[in-house]
Structure 1
Amino acid sequence: MFIDEVKIYVKGGDGGDGCVSFRRERFIPRGGPNGGDGGNGGDVIIRANKKIDTLLDITSKVKFIAEDGGKGQNRNKNGKNGRDLVINVPKGTLIKDLKSGRIIKDLKENDEAIIIARGGRRGRGNAYFKSPTNQTPRFAEEGRNGRDRWLSLELKLIADVGIIGLPNAGKSTFLSRISSARPKIADYPFTTLQPQLGIVDLENYKRLVFADIPGLIEGAHSGSGLGNTFLKHIERTRVVVHLIDISAADLLETYNLVRNELALFSSKLSKKSEIVAINKSDILDTETSQIIAEELSKKISKPVHLVSAVSGNNVKDLIKAAADLINKESEEDLLRLSLPDDYDAISNKGLTF
């Protein structure tokens, strides 16, 4: 099951209380104070782990509380520090304060971590408070409470290329053609119910991660169809490949519908670099397919690729076009284009072109 948003309660461990104690030994009837300090409470840490693809494991537990510090003891023995509690989440997890909605941290890199709830400070024992004016302090300090808060964890897909389009545009077939990912493929709407990832290795490029985003329909930004649940996954992609079914009744209307949904959800999505491709070109003869592609290109004032995910026709050219576009993105553009995102994926090494 793909889970990309959860709400959790986190609390650092309480600090241990200091001890009130006095030295009591034979022949030393009036020994001084020897109460030890308590231990510090453990911290709650959230860490990104590349081996995790979903927030599913976290749903089985709502409250995450670190260990309390131990109490101080006599003979100046300090209490044991509480153990830290580490919550492992997928890369791309966005941490928000549930009450204010403020973004606390965007965990984009593997092993990136943040102390999200600090443990309470230890209480000091009475030995600490001995002074020239108070040789026998009969009090100690209580440990501080650990910090607590409610959080929202949102997973946003991290990929280089997002594959978008209406249901049955051939996105899943395209992903399975270019990589070893095997999403469910069938001839009915919403076959893909969660984002899928595929990895493609190219010469002169390290690798490209493609994300198959579940099909969009009119009104998706407001909850229609699969809703806007997965639109946020497109935000972190660097470019999008917009697939259009060549058998659609009106290709321009189909193109504009998807573009409109992106714009209504987020202005950032509408500005994302896009490659347009007409898919399923194998169902028509080459000349007819080419005419259709040229007509759409003129109407949208953009180049239009003609591909077939089934036969593989022109698929390599489309992938290299995406790689070239990514390569042209400047460092400044990359920083501007993305904030947090989420994901569940099947990540497999794909074909080498």
Structure 2
Amino acid sequence: MKFLDQARIFIRSGNGGAGCLSFRREKFIEFGGPDGGDGGRGGDVVAVCVEGLNTLIDYRYQQHFKAKTGIHGMGKNRAGASGADCILKVPAGTQIFEEDGETLVADLTEIGQSVILAHGGNGGFGNAHFKTSTNQAPRRVNPGQEGEERVLWLRLKLIADAGLVGLPNAGKSTFLSSVSAARPKIADYPFTTLHPQLGVVACGDREFVLADIPGLIEGAHEGAGLGDRFLGHIERCGVLLHLVDAGCEHAGKAYKTIRKELAAYGYGLDEKPEIVALSKIDTVDADTLKNQMARLKRAAKRTPLKLSAVTHQGVADCLKNLLSAIDAARHDETPVLTTTVPSWHPCD
């Protein structure tokens, strides 16, 4: 299935049914009178967050959605039925914007959430509605109310517990494939990953969702490379795992490049809890590894982890640190890395 995280749609709610102009005319019945029923209400356009979806590909080939018109009123005081609603099924994490692309209409983050995007028109009154003691034969009816029309933007921001960030070819896709059942494309050239990937990672008896974001380069917030379009997917991540290639020219500069882009993008990405790791350590010699670790430590102002997704060296410790940081982020606590010694507590 192709990945699509943005779609432009046109929606229209249903018109209300027209009221009926009718009079009772039956043989051998002495008294007649108006008996025109009211029209039915037009259908609404409703967006519903459902499980089992992780892309907006359904809106790639169909962009127009219209609810049904209400049924017109009928004689013998019969009211028309309401028109059927138009249901738009979207994945969790979908944001709905106005046509300007900036005004937020709804943010659906939980399964089962729903929002009415366009209300159906009310049905018109039949002539039975207007009868009075002084107007016993009204010939007045109301047409149904017109439905609403809107142009909207759907934008998907994947919901994951942790997100992978780094320069192209930092080993993000390899790491995701080694710790989960996800099978992203892996190659030895930049920008192999063209759209985000999700994987469920098992750590002991716990599981969490890890997102692989396409690589960033300097100037991404201004549109360079793949731009910052996919950074929206890590807005909802509780923790960031920042991978730096041990074989790059300067690990410290590579780290600062990504941090600069996160800060330029905004939305608090540079303030999220972060775990820094030097990846692909199996591709460099001991001296290079030592120098790169020192450079990355000075830039990140913390001791980075060392890991190799190919040989699985350091992967288990990295996952434990990620899980600890995820739990801490959920409770707004400071993450406790496995390398630190826990403090004494009187209840221990």
- TM-score of the superposition, structure 1-length normalised? 0.90
Say whether 1:124 aligns with 2:125: yes
- The amino acid across from 1:216 in the alignment is L
**Structure 2 matches for 1:1-353, cutoff 5 A?**
1-28=2-29, 31-99=32-100, 101-203=102-204, 205=206, 207-285=207-285, 289-290=289-290, 292-331=292-331
- Paired with 2:295 and 2:95, the residues of 1 have a C-alpha distance of 42
Q: Is contact 1:294–1:304 with CA below 8 Å preserved after alignment?
A: no
Where 2:214 maps in the other structure, the secondary structure is: coil
Distance 1:9 1:310, change over 3 A: same
Unaligned runs of 5+ residues in structure 2 are 334-348
What is the aligned partner in structure 2 of residue 338 from structure 1?
A: none
Q: Is contact 2:276–2:300 with CA below 8 Å preserved after alignment?
A: no
- Paired with 1:106 and 1:171, the residues of 2 have a C-alpha distance of 28
Q: Displacement, 1:18?
A: 0.6
Where 2:116 maps in the other structure, the secondary structure is: strand
- Across the two proteins, how many residue pairs are aligned to each other? 332
Where 1:8 maps in the other structure, the secondary structure is: strand
Where 2:24 maps in the other structure, the secondary structure is: coil
Unaligned runs of 5+ residues in structure 1 are 334-353
Higher RCO by CA contacts (8 Å cutoff, separation 6 or greater): 1
- The amino acid across from 2:119 in the alignment is R
Q: Is contact 2:256–2:299 with CA below 8 Å preserved after alignment?
A: no
Q: Is contact 2:216–2:258 with CA below 8 Å preserved after alignment?
A: yes
Deviates more, 1:96-105 or 1:113-122: 96-105
- Paired with 2:295 and 2:45, the residues of 1 have a C-alpha distance of 58
Where 2:33 maps in the other structure, the secondary structure is: coil
What RMSD, in angstroms, separates the aligned Cα atoms of the two structures? 1.7
The superposition leaves residues 221-267 of structure 1 with CA deviations (integer Å, 9 ceiling, x where unpaired) of 11111112211111111111010000111111111111111111115
- Paired with 1:42 and 1:64, the residues of 2 have a C-alpha distance of 12
What is the aligned partner in structure 2 of residue 348 from structure 1?
A: none
Where 1:243 maps in the other structure, the secondary structure is: strand
Distance 1:98 1:331, change over 3 A: farther
The superposition leaves residues 194-216 of structure 1 with CA deviations (integer Å, 9 ceiling, x where unpaired) of 100110123364x2110110111
Q: Displacement, 1:59?
A: 2.1
Distance 1:21 1:163, change over 3 A: same
Distance 1:259 1:99, change over 3 A: closer
- The amino acid across from 1:310 in the alignment is V
The superposition leaves residues 118-144 of structure 1 with CA deviations (integer Å, 9 ceiling, x where unpaired) of 111111111111111211111112111
Deviates more, 1:36-45 or 1:58-67: 58-67
- TM-score of the superposition, structure 2-length normalised? 0.91
- Paired with 2:279 and 2:301, the residues of 1 have a C-alpha distance of 18
- Paired with 1:288 and 1:250, the residues of 2 have a C-alpha distance of 10
- Paired with 1:143 and 1:254, the residues of 2 have a C-alpha distance of 63
Where 1:326 maps in the other structure, the secondary structure is: helix
- The amino acid across from 1:82 in the alignment is G
The percent identity for this pair of structures is 46
- Paired with 2:297 and 2:203, the residues of 1 have a C-alpha distance of 27
- The amino acid across from 2:319 in the alignment is I
Q: Is contact 1:99–1:150 with CA below 8 Å preserved after alignment?
A: no
Distance 1:331 1:76, change over 3 A: farther
Q: Displacement, 1:295?
A: 4.3
The superposition leaves residues 89-110 of structure 1 with CA deviations (integer Å, 9 ceiling, x where unpaired) of 1111101111473211111112
Q: Is contact 1:216–1:225 with CA below 8 Å preserved after alignment?
A: yes
Where 1:60 maps in the other structure, the secondary structure is: coil
Q: Is contact 2:180–2:200 with CA below 8 Å preserved after alignment?
A: yes
- The amino acid across from 1:174 in the alignment is F
Where 1:296 maps in the other structure, the secondary structure is: helix
Where 2:305 maps in the other structure, the secondary structure is: strand
- The amino acid across from 2:273 in the alignment is S
